[in-house]
Amino acid sequence: MPAHHHPARKKFTRFASKQPFRFGLPNVSAELTQASDNSPAYLTRTTSLLRQKVLANAPSVKIISDTVHPDVLARDAWADTDFDRKRVLFLIPDDAIGDCVGMALFLRAFAVKYPRAKIAVLNSGSASDIFATLSDVTVFQLFISAKRLKTFDYLIDFSEMEGWKDIATMPVNPEEALCEAFDTSPIPLASKRSPKLAPGARIGILPMASSPLRTLPPALVREIAEFLAKAGFDITLILNAYQGVMKKYKDTIGPFDQPNIRIVDGFKTIGNLVSFISEQDYVVLADSGPAHITKLFQTPGIGIYSSASAAVLQGRHHNLCPWQSSYKGDFCEAPCGLAKLRATASGTIGCMGSLRVPISELGNLPVNSDRALAEQLVTEKPVPCVADLIAHKDRFFAFLCQDIGI
């Protein structure tokens, strides 16, 4: 093994196929679908959907090994390595949208520092359309062939970034962490934010996150949509199926009478979502993947934050004006830092505020999802820091009016 290299943290699967094949996730743009290239073997992350759902049942596929740890450049060598004219493959540890936006923003900065480097990403999965917004970056959505793998000078495992080990429970800003790790300056941002809107402006409302801790209350969402529609704006309310609660959430919001409000039950691909956000004049969002996507285009709007810190998640990006829950209780106060619900030793699911227990009693992530509980928390009995958003809605609407100039 070369100096400053060691095995990747993540496990990969090496497989072979007797037949030509094409793979692509249904929520990724079709042009990013991959095809085999007659290589003797291929590599995919062992936890990928390709390995878990497809390869296990494909009769023409032979699994060679599920415990491959390719050699990667060690974290302590990232800043001191000259990548000029080098071919660099970045291993994407997870396809969470927000995290991948941060990685993509770093890659923009990396490309500026090393304009003659050849950049590629591996196992970007559902977030492949995020990386496809970058010019001259090759996207290996699900796998890479042994032939292509040999062409790279360096493999870099993004899971070695600072804070990644704990990202399931505590937020990390990947753009900031990676720019620091590679001693790279982030790309400059627009110096002025000017969201004053004229009648007819397009406003997107994206209220749902992957956790009840960060999903906006339906009653508040309805008031926001109606208020902005009455002000003469063109409103699109985007829902999604992250928690399996979209139908109940939509029913709770109820239908709208205003012709300038439309509801979209999610998008077929992340690429469609990216395009939508790029086309909006203004957005109102929960703390979720779409809030991070706005960083790619500096789309102005308001980000509404409950359990997680707006300062941590937005970092240096000021296109979203942050509205932070002000909840303070006996066992927690916002922002507590939790991104997802936790479980007690007995398996009870919630957060410090909803269960009225200290963080020391919530050391585990839930083993199984509970849709009934998720529905209750997002539509009937929100966790305290989310309920606080309703309690202080008058202050929020004053904040919104000031920001858009009405």
pLDDT one-digit tens code per residue, 155-172: 999 999 887 766 655 667
Give how far Cα 277 sits from Cα of 205, 249, 271, 292, 387, Å.
10, 22, 10, 10, 27
The whole model's pTM is what? 0.91
- The pLDDT confidence band at residue 101, using thresholds 50, 70 and 90, is very high
What is the CATH code of the structural domain delimited by 202-404? 3.40.50.2000
pLDDT value of residue 126: 94
pLDDT band at residue 366 using 50, 70 and 90 as cut-offs = confident
Q: What is the mean pLDDT of the chain?
A: 92
Closest CA to 97 of 15, 180, 174: 174
The least confident of 16-20, 231-235, 366-370 is 366-370
Mean pLDDT of 168-178: 78
Q: What is the pLDDT of residue 2?
A: 57
Give 123's contacts (C-beta < 8 A, 6+ positions apart). Answer: 44, 45, 48, 91, 92, 95, 140, 141, 142, 143
- Residue 193, pLDDT above cutoff 90: no
Backbone φ, ψ for residue 383 (5° rounding): -65, 155
What distance in Å separates the CA atoms of residue 382 and residue 211, rounded to the nearest whole number?
11
* Residue boundaries of the structural domains of the chain: 5-181, 202-404
Digit-coded pLDDT (tens) for 57-97: 888 899 999 999 999 999 999 999 999 999 999 999 989 89
